Amino acid sequence: MKASDLFVRCLENEGVQYIFGIPGEENTDLIDSLIGSNIEFVVVHHEQAAAFMADVYGRLTGKPGVCLATLGPGATNLITGIGDAFLDHAPVVAITGQAGLERIHKESHQYVDIIGVFEEITKWNQQIRVPHTIPEIIRKAFKTAVLEKPGAVHIELPEDIAMMDTKGEPLPVSPLPISSPAKEELKKAAEIINKAKRPIILAGNGVIRDGATESLRRFAEEKNIPVVNTFMAKGVLPSNHPLTLYTVGMQAKDYVLCGFDLADVIITVGYDFVEYLPKYWNDEAKNPIVHIDSLPAEVDAYYPLASELVGNVKEGLESLQSLIDRKELWPKLKELKSQLDDKLHADDQASGSPIKPQRIIADLKKAEKGEAIIISDVGAHKLWVARMYQPEKPNHTIISNGWASMGIAVPGAIAAKLAHPDKPVFAITGDGGFLMNGVEIATAKRLGLAIIIIIFYDSKFGLIEWKQLNKFNRTNDIAFTDPNFLEFARSFGVKGIKVTHSDELLPALEEAMKEKDIVLIDVDVDYSENVKLSKTLGDYICKL
């Protein structure tokens, strides 16, 4: 058979349903081999969007998302999405074409060393040089992508290798090994926690990746220990749970950090350093850490390890649970929770034009009723989503955190709808982020996917304005010109709604939820709230 046919058979063997990408001359044999396959090739308009789709698909399903590009500019266009998957630990397999092996030793049309380019943003990165190695390389790529900690891998298929005749069969897909923490370390961790009077849990992305959400909830409830989550672990406890202290991740003192100030032991569960550095929540390095994660902890001066439980997060929690005594609820926990609720919901009903971001988040929560998947782009709105929006379920809020890349929302929403067609999906974006990959509306329309896009409209790079005002008390070169977004949407056959006053927002969201097609909602946002929030955080004092 042809090598590209074997390649596709191996992808089918791995359970691949979608490949996101753009066809090119050097991957044309692979595209041809997809004819008759049960794999759907999702043609996009920019390779960056393809990588973002694979990234979000991997996060939501736990299976590697797959993206495809040709050589040269096609391959380099994948870099932003691949970097996002690498730092946020999303399983992704990137496939690129390449020039024939006979010309890669010299200067050649569109040839650069893509293996070298991708080396720093992938877990594993391999060129196929002989066709009979295809089954081994694909099996290793998919296994490596999902092994803790997950991330992006890359396979390069030169065009002359793709055309060669070969023999081979896909290799069996074996289950991943599950490891448990050492018994002696479990005893040590239990002793530390049992002596503590005010332990607190910091839940990270690994809780969701390891399927440990229910184990974490049972552990917290049985032992009466409050839980704080990172941006990427939103929903590990529902928003009304008495033990949730909501979300940390702002790079400044926020009210939720009162919980860390009061604690005497911090139990980190599935926490990745890239989510929120320890110096932001343990700035005096005074609180000892019990580390529960799939890998040993990163070395950090603000992360004083008292015990390190290395192994599957779910196994670690369940093994530790029987060794821990039930705690008395902190005397000040209810007061802290009440203060947090007051702060987080103070402007839920704020009225006016333009609209406060707090009101946008509150009305979104009312409209989606805890069922939607939210994909947040990066910009000023991201910090409001991350801080204020509290989902009811895990893995229902996707935020580009470690790489923090603009442009993820619309392609990410497409992937989310493919992964979960029965759930409402919102792309929350600023006008700057939307203009980077908003053209993928055409892809969603072609696929018949009903997603809702909310644009926080201000004709500026709002997050940079926020940073400039905080640092210099002035701004420079952050404004740009927007198109008429309703006309833009209409040009794709998509419904657009303009919202200029807070009273119009909830009806617009409810109207969009009833549609069975794409809806774009363009919302005038009042970003004067950004600096007000910074001043509030700067004046932070834990008064409990």
Place of tokens 């991708």: 118
The number of beta carbons lying within 10 Å of the beta carbon of residue 483 is: 11
How far is residue 324 from each of residues 189, 193, 197, measured CA to CA in Å?
9, 7, 12
Q: How many domains does the chain have?
A: 3
Q: Which residues contact 341 (CB under 8 A, 6 or more apart)?
A: none
CB 68 within 8 A of CB 95: yes
Instruction: Kindly report which listed range (77-86, 145-154, 253-262, 263-272) carries the lowest average pLDDT score.
Output: 253-262
Claim to verify: residue 240 and residue 353 sit in the same structural domain: no
Q: Grade residue 250 by pLDDT with cuts at 50, 70 and 90.
A: confident
Decide which of 303, 337, 371 is a domain's last residue: 337
Give domain status of residue 352, yes or no.
Answer: yes
**Structure tokens belonging to residue 482:** 């927007």
Flag whether pLDDT at 364 surpasses 80. yes
Residues 159 and 261 in one domain: no
Does residue 428 fall inside a structural domain?
Answer: yes
5/527 Cα distance (integer angstroms): 53
Of the three residues 337, 370, 392, the one that is the final residue of a domain is 337
Residue 250 lies in a domain: yes
Residue 37 pLDDT more than 90? yes
208 lies in the same domain as 310: yes
Residues 118 and 240 occupy one common structural domain: no
Does residue 112 form part of some domain?
Answer: yes
Residue 434 resides in a domain: yes
Identify the CATH number of the domain in which residue 320 sits: 3.40.50.1220
Per-residue burial over 218-234, b = 16 or more CB atoms within 10 Å of its CB, e = otherwise: ebbeebbbbbbbbbbbb
pLDDT (tens digit per residue) in 166-175: 999 999 999 9
Judgement on whether residues 151 and 197 belong to the same structural domain of the protein: no
| pLDDT tens digit sequence for 507-542 | 999 999 999 999 999 999 998 888 777 666 655 555
Q: Does residue 543 have a pLDDT over 60?
A: no
| 147 and 253 share one domain | no
CATH code (residue 384): 3.40.50.970
Look at residue 258 in the predicted model and tell me its pLDDT. Answer: 74
Question: In the predicted model, is pLDDT for residue 334 greater than 90?
Answer: no
Do residues 409 and 426 share a domain?
yes
Are residues 419 and 492 both part of a single domain?
Answer: yes
* pLDDT at position 15: 98
pLDDT band with cut points at 50, 70 and 90 for residue 379: very high
Whether residue 149 has a cis bond before it, omega within 30° of 0: yes
User: Is the CB of residue 150 less than 8 Å from the CB of residue 90?
Assistant: yes
Same domain? For 71 and 90 the reply is: yes
246 lies in the same domain as 354: no
* 163, 196, 216 - which closes a domain: 163
User: Residues 387, 497: one domain?
Assistant: yes
Domain assignment of residue 176, yes or no:
no
pLDDT level of residue 281 (50, 70, 90 thresholds): confident
The domain of 222 spans: 183-337
| Within-domain flag for 451 | yes
Whether 23 is covered by a domain: the verdict is yes
The rounded distance, in Å, linking the Cα atoms of 426 and 192 is: 43
Inter-residue contact 265 to 192 (CB < 8 Å):
yes
Rounded CA-CA distance 363/248 in Å is 22
Residues 190 and 122 in one domain: no
